[in-house]
Amino acid sequence: MKSKYMQPNKILILDDDETVCQSLRYLFVKQGWEAQWLTNPLNAVAFIENNPIDLILLDLNFRVGTDGKEGLGILKEIKKHFKEIPVILFTAWGSMQLAIDGMKLGAVDFLTKPWNNEHLVATITTQLQLKSKSEQKDIVHSSLDAIIGASEVVQSVKDWIVKVAPTDATVLITGESGTGKELVAQAIHDLSHRKNHPFVKVNLGAIPEGLFESELFGHKKGAFTSAVSDREGRFKLAEKGTLFLDEIGDLALSSQVKLLRVLQEKTFEPLGGSKPVQTDVRVISATHKSLPDMVIHQTFREDLFYRVNLLHIHLPSLHERKEDIPLLVNYFVMQLNNNTKQQVRVEEHALEWLSKQLYPGNIRQLKNCVERTVLLSAKKSLGIKDFKPHLEAKLTGVAKFPKVGEVTLDEMEIQLIKNALEFYSGNITDAARALGITRSSLYRRIEKHKIQYES
């Protein structure tokens, strides 16, 4: 059986009898498992910390008596540090009470020596299968938990993701800008059989029409003037994985034909190449536009629409799920607290007020508002007056500035930039996003004001 990383399962044998360890290792290797052993159990925790282990076979009696207390002490220590690793107890001095005590401390089974090879292998196989299923559930939960919301519409989206993910069908994700389409695409990939292969994102709206083929299919050296070397396109980079085509509604008609051909034939030719390349990629597309309307107006090909829209997920706007706003606000604050080691909280009346506001930019706008508020307020408890200017500034373009004479515009800009850079530990991308400007704009301002920062 393979682990989730497609590597042999690793079993650790803890027994002071080296002959027993060698016999067990021989048996396990025949099953396709890797086996290592330690004759001194006191080294177990340090060993596991530096070596990934899928299951432990633990003898209860070492060099101190035959009552099993030494082994139970080792079990307790192992479970203290590695709760997720199944431990099977193994002893020549078995008793029902010893088995019960071991189970209470977290052991998953209890076997006696001399052992029956067939029974031992079956027991270990069962525990490895149970562990694998548990890990798969963890992956499902972590991927879906990233989509924050308890509303009925969000739960419906999550249910549909679970149904859609195991298939290889193309998926079209629709919804207004800022509703979390990329997050849904990532969840579909994480829950699919392609999860151990690349998830490649490409914003089709940001690719000039003349560069579409080079970006998606790659090019050969000399294909055009600046092609000084071969380059792999996004389809090649996503091989056996998932290709997420964001803003597919922005794709020019001439490029739509080329994309359709790849989806139909499962092959493409790099620009300047002469041999078709087979591709095994699942395509997930997203758009905030109405593709059916575009088909009617002949700005989107009907055949391509049906090709990318085999399965469809529509994401609700934030206005349609207002009950999720407090959850989202607290989640964003928690993320910031984790990154900055702070203990910022949002007051209840502020959460209620935020839930009643309009967010044309949806989750993206709400997140921006929360980040700016936490960044610029420097307070531990945030109320309505802390959020209001940042939400108003986003909606109307008017921010609340200090009174005339209190501070100059340059001084305020310098302080804001310094606060942002300090808050995000010198990360230019995050700081620029929080300030509502581009990376290049932030770089220009840093140079203009000669601001020193550590990246």
pLDDT digits (tens, 9 = 90+) for 199-212: 999 999 888 888 89
Q: Return the amino acid letter for 123.
A: T
Tokens of 398: 């008017």
For residue 412, what are the CA distances in angstroms to 159, 218, 446? 47, 46, 13
Give the list of residues 6+ apart from residue 409 with CB closer than 8 angstroms, or none: none
Which residues 6+ apart lie within 8 Å of 196 measured at CB? 4, 5, 6
Report the pLDDT value the prediction gives residue 138, as an integer from 0 to 100: 56
Q: In whole angstroms, what is the distance from residue 260 CA to residue 278 CA?
A: 15
pLDDT at 392 over 70: no
Per the structure block, which two tokens stand in for 29?
A: 């290797």
**Tokens matching residue 294:** 């575009």
Residue 41's pLDDT is what?
80
Lowest mean pLDDT among 63-67, 75-79, 288-292, 408-412: 63-67
Assess contact for 13 and 37: CB atoms under 8 A.
yes
Segment 1-24 mean pLDDT? 74
Whether residue 152 contacts residue 158, with contact meaning beta carbons closer than 8 Å, is answered with: no
Inform me whether the pLDDT recorded for 95 exceeds 70. Answer: no
Q: Are 221 and 230 in contact (CB under 8 A)?
A: yes
Other C-beta atoms closer than 10 Å to the C-beta of 417 total: 21
CB distance 13 to 25 below 8 Å? yes
DSSP single-letter state for residue 140: H
In the structure encoding, which two tokens stand for residue 169, read together? 């069908």
Q: How many CB atoms lie within 10 A of CB 142?
A: 11
pLDDT band at residue 453, thresholds of 50, 70 and 90?
Answer: confident
Tokens at residue 277, please?
Answer: 């390349």
pLDDT higher at 39 or 393? 39
Please, are residues 405 and 391 in contact by the beta-carbon 8 Å criterion? no
Domains and CATH numbers, the chain: 10-138 (3.40.50.2300), 146-316 (3.40.50.300), 319-449 (1.10.8.60)
Please report where in the chains the tokens 């803890």 appear, as a residue: 14
| pLDDT confidence band for 133 (50 / 70 / 90) | low
Q: What is the DSSP code (8-state) at residue 452?
A: -
Q: At residue 88, what is the residue type? A: I
Query: Residue 389, preceding bond cis, omega within 30 degrees?
Result: no
Q: On the CB side of 51, how many CA atoms lie within 13 Å of its CA?
A: 18
- Given a cut of 50, is residue 124 above it in pLDDT? yes
Q: How far apart are CA 45 and CA 12, in angstroms?
A: 11
Place of tokens 């839930």: 355
183-240 pLDDT, tens digit per residue, is 999 999 999 999 989 999 999 988 888 889 888 998 877 767 666 677 888 999 999 9
Task: Give 112's DSSP letter.
Answer: E
Phi first, then psi: what are they for 11, rounded to 5°?
-115, 135
Both tokens assigned to 73: 């002490």
Matching residue, tokens 């999860």: 195
- Higher pLDDT among residues 350 and 232, named by residue: 350
Residues 6 or more apart from 204 whose CB is under 8 A from it? 245, 246, 247, 248, 250, 251, 255
Q: Up-side HSE of residue 344: CA atoms within 13 Å toward CB? A: 27
Count the helices and strands in the chain (H runs, E runs): 19, 14
Per the CB < 8 A criterion, the answer to whether 60 and 102 are in contact is yes
Count other Cβ atoms within 10 Å, centred on residue 249: 19
Whether the pTM exceeds 0.85: the reply is no
Task: Read off the pLDDT band of 3 (50, 70, 90).
Answer: very low
- Distance separating the N- and C-terminal Cα atoms of the chain: 44
What does the angle CA 374 – CA 380 – CA 385 come to, to the nearest 5 degrees? 60
